[in-house]
Amino acid sequence: MSAVVATGVGRVFGPAGGAGGTVALSDVDLTVAAGELVSLIGPSGCGKSTLLRLVADLDTPTSGSLTVFGKTPARARADQDYGIAFQQAGLLPWRSVQANVELPLQLHGASRAERAARAAELLALVGLTDFAGHRPDQLSGGMQQRVAIARALARWPRLLLMDEPFGALDEMTRERLQDELLKIRAETGAAVVFVTHSIPEAVYLSDRVVVMTPRPGRVVADLEIALGSPAERAARGIALREDPAFFERVSTVREALHAGEAGLPARDRGAAGAPDRAGR
Amino acid sequence: MSRVREGALAVGAPAVVGVAAVVLWQATVTGLGIAAYVVPAPADIATELAANLQVVATAAFGTARNAALGLLVGTVAALVAAGVSAAWRLAADAANPLVTATAVVPIVCLAPVFYTMFGTDAQTARVVVAAIAVFVPVYVNTLRGLRTVAPVHRDLLRAHAATPWQATRHVTLPGALPFFFTGLRVASSLAVISALVAEYFGGPVDGLGKAITSAVASSRYALAWAYVVGAVVTGLVFYAVTTLLERLPDAGGSPSARR
């Protein structure tokens, strides 16, 4: 079953009915298969974060239909089918690292022993076992973000929603966390919807990159990346980042972005270079 | 090394300024031959304080008891009110004019009225004055804390399908603690000031305010200042205790977390 299916989804802010409102998202079709890693990329205001918030049921579409594992987003949220990480780590400053990871489990009635065991597992997964007792403000930005990812994974979600989680980090930390995310994805098998404005990041992480443009926010291209499975990509690491095939995908995404900016649907570009791998 | 130096500087600098001020004060009073009713010399105040330590302590204790009781009652009332106002917007809006009025009126001006209400032989009026003075900063700060939830935390709790009570318990209340302690610190000084000044308007003959008035009335100026020293110490103790409360490891309000 598909993790996410959006059909003609729109979100208009402001006056109900749309007249005079701001169209954040217009007529978006998107399918994310179970276990698939999909990036949403586009300039500010293209509605990529809005789309993610609709999937998470943090906001409601004004048109179209949206399902998460075949359920309404509200149902999927109540069933805790997804985990979520934001640009800000959003850790609770008065809790230890371990207690932060345990929060989702605590909210759903796991026993103290269960919580501690799962937190230990997750902190090992993100390489922070030695920091379980630390307070968030004693951690670097990259470490805080890893704690946030561990927290998002706490309840074994089949879908991980990530809203520019590495956006505030330096380039080195960012690349390291991208590798970790690929490993985590390989281990958990969860589908990932990843919002970013970095083209190399989207290409490196994704099975598919969905290119969006603003005013109104809409999807202009849907590109297969096909650089191997997450596990293979994580294993290749820097070699993959320097592979000509990688650069070729980066150019494809970049051209789709710029074509979208210029108001041309990416598919209509004639001689603009690399082929569109949309296939949808 | 530099930490030790910083520590020494943090303690040393104010100490040097304090000692210099007292020396300058002593030199000015003796050098210019200033009369005791204008300003007594620090040495004379110290002598009076040493000679009357027991009496000053008893007076200070009387005032401190009223202040502490007022602080307790006012804080509890403010916490309950802030809880209601945070949960129920209408209550906050309805209470707003009253709270504003209480904030701008010097509460001690009600002391004579309270002495009539509660009797001039009881401490009640002083406790009530202190409690009302305490109420405002604790209420205002706590309510602000209860209303300040970071958007990312709000999203997080919603994403994890937390119940309203869970959201309150795990995010809103711990997040409001530093705000509450800020209010409590302000309130602790206000409690002492209000309880003491209320004594100027009547009531039983104990406490620092009464003692200062009667010492001045009998021309014992240095003794009056000795009582002032007692008042300063009492205020400092209240401030220090409430500040230490916040530092308790389990108070959860890490002082550096906010403001």
Q: What average pLDDT is seen over chain B? A: 88
- The least confident of A27-31, A58-62, A139-143, B8-12 is B8-12
Nearest residue to A139 (alpha-carbon basis) of A157, A121, A152, A126: A126
Does any CB of chain B come closer than 8 Å to the CB of residue A134? no
pLDDT higher for A104 or B250?
Answer: A104
Enumerate the residues of chain A whose CB falls inside 8 A of the CB of residue B158.
57-58, 77
What is the reported pLDDT for A236? 83
Structure tokens at B217: 């009335």
What is the reported pLDDT for B246? 84
Interface-testing mutation among A60, A80, A107, A155, with chain B (most B C-beta atoms within 10 A): A107
Asked if pLDDT for residue A97 goes beyond 70, the answer is yes
Enumerate the residues of chain A whose CB falls inside 8 A of the CB of residue B249.
none
pLDDT higher for B78 or A109?
Answer: B78
What is the reported pLDDT for B23? 93
Asked if pLDDT for residue B13 goes beyond 80, the answer is yes
Q: What's at B169, amino acid-wise?
A: R
Beta-bridge partner residues of A208:
A38, A224
Q: What's at B240, amino acid-wise?
A: A
Residue A159 pLDDT class (50, 70, 90 cuts) = very high
pLDDT-above-90 percentage for chain A = 37
pLDDT in tens, A201-210: 999 999 999 9
| The pairing of beta strand A159-163 with beta strand A191-196 | parallel
CA closest to A88 among chain B residues: B152
Residue A277 pLDDT class (50, 70, 90 cuts) = very low
Task: Round to whole Å and give the CA distance between A99 and A115.
Answer: 9
Task: Round to whole Å and give the CA distance between B182 and B140.
Answer: 10
Does any CB of chain B come closer than 8 Å to the CB of residue A130? no
Q: How far is B179 from chain A (nearest CA, A)?
A: 14
What is the reported pLDDT for A170? 85
Q: Residues A215-239: what's their mean pLDDT?
A: 84
Residue B120 pLDDT class (50, 70, 90 cuts) = confident
pLDDT-above-70 percentage for chain B = 95
- The least confident of A21-25, A137-141, B167-171 is A21-25
What is the reported pLDDT for A19? 65
Residue B99 pLDDT class (50, 70, 90 cuts) = confident
Q: Are A17 and A28 in contact (CB under 8 A)?
A: no
Q: Residues A178-192: what's their mean pLDDT?
A: 88
| Domain boundaries of chain B, sorted by first residue | 1-34, 40-251
Q: Does domain B40-251 have CATH number 1.10.510.10?
A: no
- The least confident of A102-106, A129-133, B39-43 is B39-43
